[in-house]
Amino acid sequence: QALASNIGNNITTVLVTIPFEQTSVTTAADPTLVGGRILGYHPTGSGAPATTFPTEIRLNANGSVTVRLSDPSDEEWNVIVNVLKP
């Protein structure tokens, strides 16, 4: 699951939700992000589970975002990924 919002004209935030007991998720393709760059990320909501952390956050060639965790999440895990659009 993902939700994108614009900050100004060049930066988009993508909210990525990793469901309980999953290790990764890839958002839907977003052509406006193709060729962009990830600027950073941070957990949102009640905070990230203490037992896991992201091992990979990637902007794919089709504009989708992949977030992979070190271990299966022990609760729903939300992260905001900030992307600089091309």
Residue 79, token pair as written in the block: 């992260």
Nearest Cα neighbor of 37 from 58, 62, 17 is: 58
Q: What does the alpha-carbon distance between residue 48 and residue 75 come to, in Å, rounded to a whole number?
A: 9
State pTM to two decimals.
Answer: 0.83
Q: What does the alpha-carbon distance between residue 32 and residue 46 come to, in Å, rounded to a whole number?
A: 30
Give the chain's end-to-end CA distance (angstroms, integer).
23
Q: Which range has highest mean pLDDT (17-21, 53-57, 60-64)?
A: 60-64
| Lowest-confidence pick of 5-9, 35-39, 78-82 | 5-9
In terms of pLDDT, which residue wins out, 47 or 68? 68
Q: Are 36 and 44 in contact (CB under 8 A)?
A: no
